[in-house]
Chains A and B, each alone.
Chain A
Amino acid sequence: AGTLKLSVDSNLNTLDPAKMKGGQEYVAAYLIFNGLTVIGHDMKVKPDLAERWEHSDDLKSWTFHLRKGVKFHNGRDLDAEDVVASIARIQDKATGSTARVNFEIVESMKALDPLTVQFQLKTPYAGFAELFGERQARIVPRDAVDSLASKPVGTGPFEFVSFAPGDRVVLKRNPNYFEPGLPKLDEVVMRILPEAAAQVAALTTGELDLVWNLPLEAIDKVKADTKLKVDSVPTSTWDGVIMNNTVKPFDDARVRKAVAMALDKQAITQIALFGNGTPTHSPIPPSHPYYNKDLKIAKGDPAGAKKLLAEAGYPSGFEVTLYTPAGRATRERLGLAVRELLKPAGITVNVQRVPFDVFLKDIEGKAGFYIDGFFSRPTIDTSFYPWYHSKGSWNTALWSYSNPKMDQLLDGARQAKSEDEARTLYGQAQALAVEDSPGVIPYVINHINGLSARVHGFHSHPMMFLDLRDVSVD
């Protein structure tokens, strides 16, 4: 029982889940809405609105059975048409949902009866159920989609009360929530506090109970306070040094490799994350069973890098501009670290911060050299395939990497019959990713929340969601 006051660091643009793009928005999405499935704390897919599901043998036809008696906050019963409408909305280009590409695979969908919905896929896809755990794929009432942005109606544990842009979102307990006895809290207040110092100060004074995504710089301070605690979980959220494989000089694999060689990932993790992350090679974090343990995280080797550069025709290095999106502290630090670490290799880097909207429009996928980052994805396939397959949606828009061998490995992995086969294939893919270095992924980041000792039952989620169903406050 009680009210939980939490803070997020940036304003929410929208409360319409299909259109959400930022972690702080997903926080709200998981409190207000549900998907057909949910990714658990163990990264396994679990039933949510769908009680159970089955698929045809060719993995192309998927049928989901909805939970009975689920009500939207507006009192209406959830039915299969809502599911169809929600997904159709995501598929609509004009909605501008980033999840759209996920559902391009869907050939058709149909409500078989009020509690059953069936999807026909274009190609076989084993991970289809996980897709519904994706952040944007929330199920919304089909008759209230127009007001979702400012007055969201969902089926989640908390009901929307008010949203003051720039200030706060207030939610209250959903009395009709389908999991009996949950949620425990009466009210959730999400305050928007952009300043790290203000967040931490508010946490120490008890004005806040929880700081979502605690600023890395403040961890020590929170740890030192006996009335506070820090809860952290490894994720597969990563930042990357993106090199456009079609733009000179990065069209030469030797140059990319040289950059990768010069970068000391351990040092970078220290600089950018203060050690709150783990060096890795690809979006697959070292904690994952598929992680290729044979690949070593090498120390930075500027001399080797220099040699490679000379081979590639840059004996005295080159000068290049590295773009970083403004306002993302870790990525800015990553950029500066890259600048420093490439200096001994003879590469002169000019760091340039650009406002985020400019970054989206003019830098991402267009510039040759920049820092970017991505949230963890629900499955290995969704975290790897889109970036490394030559037809992968992110790949084409990010670094345009293409290697038939990689395509073969990834296509194979999608249809792998056993875990072992999949592990082997992904192991090879990781090695190839290191070899070709389409870009450099230096680390995966820990997700850290700061909270008051009065908060019970909270566990940080590796997808950076905020799961407050079991949480209570003294």
Chain B
Amino acid sequence: MTTAPHTRSAVPPVAVPAPASRPAAPLLDVRGLTISYGTGRGTLRAVSDVGFSILPGEVMGLVGESGSGKSTVAMAVLDLLGEGGRVESGEILFRGTDLRRLAPAERRALRGDSIAAVFQDPFTSLNPALTVGRQIAEPLIRHKRLTPRQAAVRVEELLGEVGIRDPRRVAAAYPHELSGGMQQRALIATALGCEPGLLILDEPTTALDVTVEARIIDLLAKLCDSHHLSALFVSHNLGIVNRICQSVTVLYGGVVVETGPTGRVLSRPAHPYTKGLIAALPRITAERRARLPSIPGTVAKLSGPPAACVFAPRCPFAEETCRSHPQEMRAEGDGTGVRCWKADALATTSWPDEGGTAPRRGALPARSAPLVEVEHLRKIYGASTSILPWLRRAGTVAVDDVSFTIDRGEVLGVVGESGSGKSTIGRALLALTEPSAGTVLFDGADFPQQVRRGDQTLRRRAQLVFQNSAASLNPRKTVGQAMERPLVLAGRGDAEERRRTVAGLLTRVGLPAAYADRYPHELSGGERQRVNIARALATDPEFVVCDEAVSALDVSVQANILNLLAGLRDEMGLSYLFITHDIAVVAHIADRVLVVYGGTICEEGPVGRVLRPPYHPYTEALLSAVPRLAEDGSEPPRILLEDSALPPGGRGGCAFAGRCPRKLGAVCDEQAPPVRETDQGHRIACHIPLATLAERAPVFPKLAGGDAAAR
């Protein structure tokens, strides 16, 4: 990093020279860009009059909620808008030339050479039918005119540069043989191959696990430094933007609402939307509270040029002027711009916080018998004992000897990386999968066994809220029909009564009763998730498994749903098993946490205890990888895990041993780690003595609430 204002607070102390004076010519200068899509139902103006510039060596973040036009802008720069997409007006100046004036062949020559890209999803961005090496070599051969042999050499260098230890093997591999992190690194290597001036990164880490994501982000930051790269970094994750970008542009409804240096925008947001966005983010370090602030309303509809402030319908500070006049971008010094005439007036006003800091509901009722008891749960998928020797398979151990309990009214969070068995645990609890071993007791009764016997009565008392709100509603059934069905099964009343119940449930989750007649596709994602929750509540359950129930939602919607769930828990005394990979969400809503890795529980305890040392090495890595905003405090050095393509752990030893940065030796591989208890039900399964584990510095020094939060 040689230029650019270093508001980025988080980068570990790489040598950072003092900011030089701003060089005059931006590398990429986008002016008045307006883009529309022709769709079956008319023209959709996805982006209106967007402008920003990126200086050489600068990484600019482009943030905004889903559908705000981030990808559209990125693709317009690449000239890859695809069918129906059309740049209506504006200029895209790259090194001073307007790309729009170039012939298609000239733009193609720039692509992959001077302007390279990495997309969101490495799994789909690599051609499954070609080896990784070949795909990386393509632009080298094309733009740099290398011979295939030279290219092959260069490919290995590049792979080494992005931190792949065995470049030769990886180059010869097909994409599916690599883990997500390795695939994403291969994409980055491809992008770097021709030493581009500008890198377009469209949500390059969204599809990855937190720990892998942290690695990739670090790598990108380092590469931007070492290669003196400029980048357009598209993301909706403010934490990551905070980590890697020097400046940020915030899009809302296809319009730039705010732009400025990262540190300033994230710590002192000027536009109401930015304020809301930041406020709605659950924080690990924040005070534990009942409700998160949220932005009411739904995403702006994009059809014509904005006639008023795009955010006005959802803005708590809106006045008549906002609803009648389009807003001008008001530029200030240090590259800051805000599209709100009240920005100055609101400078010190923060987003209204309905829930306030009211403490959450009081202590849990005295421990009675737990509602859910899981003992030695084990689930093996796909084992086969065929008579044909070549068909015999050991199967995947998804969950390996897991035991825990959930009290009435308790929220148990489950965190862990993808494939660690979180969903399997949830499904086993609901008797959706038959456990291979172990027992699941629900209110003292053996749930799976009852279901096996055809007794469905317990079903009513345990429900599930899904991750994918779209997939969990039958597209052919109205909301009302979907919600009515559990009532019918429960033998609940006549049609009229059922209708009333449905209406009541809808109101309870904050939807108009008239929504009962809508089809799922007529609802927004947040509304669908509310319907899901309402459906789960239809039978008055006592226990709800939320499997990534908020992961697919935008920050503002997520806040809404979290508030709803918390409210229901408080009102109805529900217990949740709350599965997520977002530790901040768990920290916000859960009472206790299970950290799972490779199907085993490596750490368990009250939230406040788990977030503090002593940590299980995996928990520590996980926590350190969480991207966070500046105000959460300076980031400690991240513990980077090698991402492994292999399923975790050798059986018999510690599941995490293969990737553990603090591995002791053979003992980790061979012996199951002992479970050690610190206090208040805080347990860690690790060979390393507790005292040693406790010596580590806390990952969140500013963790609010002190020990009190841990109760």
**Chains A and B touch (C-beta atoms under 8 A apart):** no
**B interface vs A, CB < 8 Å?**
none
